[in-house]
Structure 1
Amino acid sequence: MIGQTISHYHILEKLGEGGMGIVYKAEDLKLKRTVALKFLPADLTRDEEAKTRFVHEAQAASALQHPNICTIHDIDETVDHQLFIVMDWYDGQTLKEKIAGGPLKTEEATSDTIQIAQGLQQAHEKGIVHRDIKPANIIITNDGVAKILDFGLAKLAGGAKLTRTGSTVGTAAYMSPEQARGLDVDLRTDIWSLGVVLFEMLTGKLPFRGEHEAAMLYSIVHEEPQPISSLLSDVPPDIKLSITNMLQKEPGERFQHMRELLSQLGAIKKKDEAESEKPLPSIAVLPFVNMSADPENEYFSDGLSEEIISALSKLESLHVTARTSAFRFRGKELDIREIGKQLNVSTVLEGSVRRAGNKLRVTAQLINVADGYHLWSERYDRELEDLFAIQDEISLAIVDKLKVRLLGADKARLAKRYTENFEVYDLYLKGRYELSRLTEEGIKRSLDYFQQAIQKDPNFALAYVGMASVYNVHAIVGQFSSNETMPRAKSELLKALKLDESLAEAHAWLGEVHLQYEWDWSSAEREFKRAIELKPNSPEAHQFYADYLIVTGSMEQASIEIARARDLDPLSTIPNTILAYQLYVLRQFDQVIEHCRKMLKTEPSFLLQLHLWRALRQQNRLSEALAECKKLFTLFISREVAEAMKCVDDESGYKGAVRAAAKKLVDLSTQRYISPYLIATLFAHAEDDNKTLQWLEKAHEERDMVLYSIGVDPDLDRVRSSPRFTALLKKIGLEQ
């Protein structure tokens, strides 16, 4: 049927199939809109009861006009007398598909239930009982709107019966007891079914169990539902009460009208919204002081601090300052109140570590920023092997003292261990410490430590992420080309995720590989979103996603992600470079210059220096642009390039200087890796369009990790209309 035109509807694709209908996506050729067509299966066209029920569905649903009920436009039949209903098509997924991705958060499940209940309330007011409420019959649009589908089994007040006395209609798992017994039903059967749906949204499981339909029906009629608290430890009492009421065996003991349920759920939602308006508890974990006799043990004290940060960062209901900002206070004798002010947190955790042989002493203090009061403190005298337990105890103590609400599997995530082998973990901490130094020797040593950890425990997922981080750093600092580093990084990340799918860092970096190397836009977005879901306090995940949103033109959402990253890592330059990049892409060059100069006063940054130079050139402030360009090459790339720029005659000016820089980089590229995209940028500034395109094509050939940004880069506006540029865009999956 796909590709056929029936009446004035051109059928595009099949959406789904059930016992009472086959649904297709189609184009309405008259009104130029997308619709869904539901056909009565061919084998039922001679079944008068089936035909009557099909027409009945169209009549029932078309009588209802509500934002949470699918809109019916028409009913018609083909030349061979096959009936079909024309209805709205919605871009989204069924609630069944949504639940398959994992249990919903309480707030989301409550919101969806309220919308479904609102649609059902209107149906009930019109004397219509749905009788087949289940996740497969509910669409959640991409805008978050719930739409009730399939009124094929609906019961109309005063209408003729379409089922024989004593027969059952509906889907077994969602039937009410009276429905399962073949008794007459009223609106309270929909209340029961919605209770089952809400239970399933929250837990991912059904309240009644049975290996086959008869066993399921027996359980519904005779057994009590599974206690929701046995599946969900933190279910709010009000939600638990609502579900208990909805799943009462006797209809008279349930909510009697949908408006009663809506009143209860509305009160719960208001309470949740009031709670969400309160500021989240917040904490900065300062680097623990190394009190050991050996200063080389600093990697160990740093590692303990980082692991606590990492564990706490998984909690959505706690604001955790990133390592980059928290570690700025290493060795500084500052008042806690000043630290709290700079990091915008209400509490600070500080501590010390003394390691002697196999003995370990750890002290930790949780301090209230407002008054310096110690909310909690503890000293641990343990064996080295007890480090994991110490980390868990400190994290759980913080959660307890700050009254952080743990949701779903939060407690398990908080205390998760990736290896039980302390020697392996120690090697991993050494690798992380060496990598954080960002020296050539440190990067080499970190790779060696991660490899040793994997040799001793091949199932230690974090070590594979560490390996991938090394390859990514090689690419970022320009030591090697993307072709040399990105496939290796991807291989390590996939190994890590095969061992543990819940590693947010692995998802975030895999997203970068998809974006910067493979130009796989949809996969990149999926990985960034998954990383944020797993670790809401990860500034890297928010930064990476913001970068993706900028190059794909979603500026409003990008601003939200940048703000979140800056909030989590207030003293880091990295989220500020993303902000500068966004402003540059938006052509707000004055703001770029102001922002970059302000940030560069605190510390040097390659990307901030790069954006400053380019923004000045865009404003035709060429002498300033030239000075900043020379500074960029002197500080971060090659003094030889800066010297080559100085040797150019004053008469050739800015264009001559950047052309000289480009030519010098071309010479250097025969000796070591130089980004073709950087060379293309310099030729663009020299207004040499042919060379610009030549080096952009070279960047594509080498899969330069900056090429993904060509669609929005103002430096390339001169060549944007060139067919060669258009061809490049298509090659990386972009259009003009």
Structure 2
Amino acid sequence: MRNVVTLASAVTVCSTCGEPLNAKGDCVACLLRTGLDESGVETEPLDSLVFGDFEIARHEDGSLWELGHGAMGVTYLAVDKVLRRKVALKVIKAPVVPTRRHSQAARERFLREARAAAVLRHPNVAAVFQFGASADGSCCYYAMELVEGETLEACVRRDGPLNGKLALEIAKQITRALMAAASQGLIHRDLKPGNIMLIRPNADASELQVKVIDFGLAKAIADDESNMDLTHGEFVGTPNFASPEQFESGPVDVRSDIYSLGATLWFALTGKTPFAGRNIEEIRRAQKSDALPIEQLKAARVPSRLRSLLKSMLAIEPAARPGIQDLAASLRRYSAQARPTRVALAVGVILIFGVSAFSVFPILRTANRPVPTAEHLVSNPVPPEKSIAVLPFENASNEPNTEYLSEGISEALINSLSELQQLRVIARPTAFRYKRKDVDPRQVGRELGVSAVLTGKVRQMQDALNVQVDLVDAVTGAQIWGAGYDRNIADLVAVKQAIAQEVTAKLKLKLSSEEQRRLVKRDSTNAEAYQFYLRGRYFWNKRTSDGIKQAIEHFQQSIERDPNFALGYVGLADSYTGLTFYNFAAPHEAMPEAKESAIKALALDDTLAEAHA
């Protein structure tokens, strides 16, 4: 079953539901009943697993490693045999055409469109690396950047509708991608939640990166040649997110993508599509005759100004929709207006706990920490002499269960070093954008405006712990210091302290006696308590309902093992506040627990390192 359907009169009916079949023999009604879920799509067997320089990967059971089904083909995980990198490979079956001339025309049209898409390079677009056609002409293919994340569709289906701030951030980044495409005369034609990849989709909006995939099927706007292409005269797109003009035979432009973005944003905010139907005709009829179900937006507490913007984006007539530049400006303006909500929450916490307790909540503080911008780096080309970025350490164990260790040590070092007045330390949200990225420390230095970069690897084998660290000059790329620590897992805190002390020494920082005391202060004398705390932080940083609830369990375990462990109570305070902040729990349910935990944490230690993260 495919999302490529035709509007031609049917000659047969579906044996399952009795609806007419299209010219390809597909039942559009059954297709639409599956909604956005394409997991039931059966894949036609491939004649070959090798396409140019790329070979499709297999699972351990020998099955092909499918990443997803699109409107016209199947996407596989593949390996570039030349560069030895993983890619996403889209394989598209060529249509059955009456003559060899038509078949050649179809392939040429695909290659022409693919070349146009391959020119597009933008941070919010998954890059197209290579494209081609099989020797026998049965398939076309293109290899694109493998984006490690999840789709907006999967995120909403798992966690429910997004809050307005996060949805706006996603829409802003998609709009940037569309602007870049429009500047080169390209449109997407199949913009939908399944084609929006989120990197760290559950994190705070300031950490989120969005990439639009499947631009390889974009059609050049200016190309008004013969309509013979791989679609073979059929509708291309996903009906529930397609613009009204896509169902017609006329040309489409960027305003069609704006409509699809409006439908995608609607889905992100409500979990529903603005117009539903059992078949294409019902969807078309609903678009033309039915009013938008604004009550869905009201039920999701979408602000009135954003509701008005969505109405304009989903206008039936393309001319009534905002232009791409106007849309970008509106999204920036609404996003800026949404920020006081977070400030209001911070004020509420201050009123409840007192000014000193405000420092307990890193969830509220990170918004106030300056993040280097391109303008900042241009105006400050020389990084401060005493500045550092602690990048997320690599989990060399390759075991998901030990990921908390690599992330936890990195975050703990950021917190410890941030206490030093002479040293500027890049905040966790910014530093962790480089997770699983093989980047030159000099590039990190240029992008973040720092003079030093700390990297590391963590490996745990039962009770044995191995930590490798390197401190690099971010200007020259020379190594300042490197060391390896082979210890027992129980010595985790001592390893973290030793690394922090060496970093301060190699950077020639002059520490006060109080700063020296803090660097060697043990957060807990119980090794198990500290490990449970790091696990709690790992799950808390996911910012999901389940993640925060698991974090609470781990923080409680840490406190059970060490009742005087102040950081354990800090974790609980953060978690209960997070439940309210992310609308996972009502304030009257979670905030009393947050208050109690915060008071306990401050009673145990009012100089917490975490308070300055």
TM-score w.r.t. the length of structure 2 is 0.48
- If asked which structure has higher relative contact order (CA below 8 Å, sep 6+), I would say 2
Which structure is larger by alpha-carbon Rg, 1 or 2? Answer: 1
Structure-1-length-normalised TM-score: 0.41
Larger helix share, 1 or 2: 1
